[in-house]
Amino acid sequence: MSAIEHLPNQDNGLLRFMTCGSVDDGKSTLIGRLLYDTKTILADALSAIEKTSRKRGLAAPDLALLTDGLQAEREQGITIDVAYRYFSTATRKYIIADAPGHEQYTRNMVTAASTTNLAIIMIDARKGVLAQTRRHSYIAHLVGVPHLVVAVNKMDLVDYDESVFERIRAEYLAFADKMGLSAKGFEVRFIPISALAGDNIVSRSEATPWYTGPSLLEILESAPPAGQHKDKAASEAFRFPVQYVCRPQASDDPALHDYRGFMGRIESGSVKAGDAVTLLPSGRTSRIKAVHLGDAAIAHGVSEQSVTLLLEDEIDISRGDMIVKTAEAPEPRKALRAMLCWLSETPLSPARTYLIRHTTRTVKAKLASIAYKVDVNSQEHIDAVQLAMNDIAEVDWKLAQPVFADSYAENRATGAFIVIDEATNNTVGAGMVL
């Protein structure tokens, strides 16, 4: 919990971000530092890590211990899964997705990146840009994280030397350009920090007078929050996958006998009464009669809001259907070309039928072909006939029924899908429509 000065006096929404790096880069220390400096760590939690630190013979409390969740990890001293952490400031609530950075954990990083709007890429100032830096940046870019912050950490170990920072920045920009990170709508910032000493985390450090940019927390405070897709918000197409249909015919209230509420979350765009809409897959058209949130009618619904839509006409709609604005309806697709990250220990088999879940719609699917696999360290394309866990590839799927997808680059919500193994019901793949 936050301290009294953090009682929100202005609510600037919620930011989900992730940290990319290995234990050696000081990633856990950075998270511990953010929690500590925003007074999120309370006395009993601090005394627990002090106790453990002493047991391990450390002089100061190891802030990294705060983020080690499970028994197995505490024993092995590594992070093997995505963990979520929370803190808040006077104006904003934060959710940190903490994922391990090693190559064999590509799937965890993809998972963490899928819900975040900003990624902090950790670089050890003594080591500079490494293969893992490229890997982390590539995955963040692949999964459409719109804001990157490259944090050059352990500046205290290089005497806060500006030339070290500048050299790393130049190195990074050289490959970022090649990767397409400088494309429109994508933003990279650089900051010199010491997570251990707390330099440039909350406020600008006197140890780096040559750095005139904002502190890390200031960057987080001003980044566009969840639900706001950087300068696309207004123009983005309205997409409303139907989750559930409410028909309270048996109700005692006669006014409700003809009630049909289509319940779902606005994945993008906005909607208001009077809008002309098309129902997919039927193609029938109608108009919005009302937008409800709980029992209140609202003037209009916006992206990421969970609402209930009432239509002017009586039309049968069920879960898996999608309501869109007539003028901007997507084409049905029975084939999907996509980037796919394989998540399962059992390799992807071209012989098998899988389930693809796209928004609220689930369809049977078969792999048609693998165009290439990506070397996550060099981003080179490699020929492949099979995909194993942590592989990323461009593939084609054949679908038994159409889905109403947009390209992932245009719309993260309607461009994403998961692959489910029908035999085990496990989630085995994560796809991004091209």
Binding-site size, another protein (CB under 8 A): 87
Q: Does 48 bind another protein (CB under 8 A)?
A: yes
Angstrom distance (rounded) from CA 128 to CA 183:
23
Which residue in the set 92, 136, 169, 239 belongs to the binding site for another protein (CB under 8 A)?
A: 92
Longest dimension (CA), the chain: 76
Taking Cα atoms as reference points, which of 293, 236, 261 lies closest to residue 413?
Answer: 236
Q: Does 9 bind another protein (CB under 8 A)?
A: no
Angstrom distance (rounded) from CA 334 to CA 326:
21
Q: Does 183 bind another protein (CB under 8 A)?
A: no
The alpha carbon dihedral of 10, 14, 20, 24 has a sign of positive
Q: Does 304 bind another protein (CB under 8 A)?
A: yes
Q: Does 103 bind another protein (CB under 8 A)?
A: no
Angstrom distance (rounded) from CA 192 to CA 365:
47
Listed ranges 124-132, 192-200, 301-309, 365-373: which one lies at the site for another protein (CB under 8 A): 301-309
Which residue in the set 14, 179, 197, 202 belongs to the binding site for another protein (CB under 8 A)?
A: 14
Which residue in the set 243, 346, 377, 401 belongs to the binding site for another protein (CB under 8 A)?
A: 243
Q: Does 254 bind another protein (CB under 8 A)?
A: no
Listed ranges 5-13, 160-168, 374-382, 395-403: which one lies at the site for another protein (CB under 8 A): 5-13
Bridge partners, residue 387, by sequence: 348
* Alpha-carbon torsion, ordered 168, 174, 176, 180, to 10 deg: 170
- How is residue 103 written in tokens? 């190559």
Sequence-separated (6 or more) residues with CB below 8 Å from residue 295: none
Bridge partners, residue 419, by sequence: 356, 429
Listed ranges 109-117, 154-162, 176-184, 196-204: which one lies at the site for another protein (CB under 8 A): 109-117
**Chain residues 374-433 in contact with another protein, contact rule CB under 8 A:** 412-413, 416-418, 420, 425-427, 430
**Chain residues 125-154 in contact with another protein, contact rule CB under 8 A:** none
Are 387 and 373 a contacting pair, CB within 8 Å?
yes
CA angle 89, 92, 93 (to 5 degrees): 90
Closest distance to another protein from the beta carbon of 70 (Å): 5
Q: Does 234 bind another protein (CB under 8 A)?
A: yes
Q: Does 239 bind another protein (CB under 8 A)?
A: no
Listed ranges 21-29, 63-71, 130-138, 161-169: which one lies at the site for another protein (CB under 8 A): 63-71
Closest distance to another protein from the beta carbon of 141 (Å): 16
Taking Cα atoms as reference points, which of 355, 340, 397 lies closest to residue 107?
Answer: 340
Query: Between residues 108 and 208, which has the closer beta carbon with respect to another protein?
Result: 108
The H-assigned helical ranges of 206-350 are: 216-222
Query: Between residues 318 and 378, which has the closer beta carbon with respect to another protein?
Result: 318
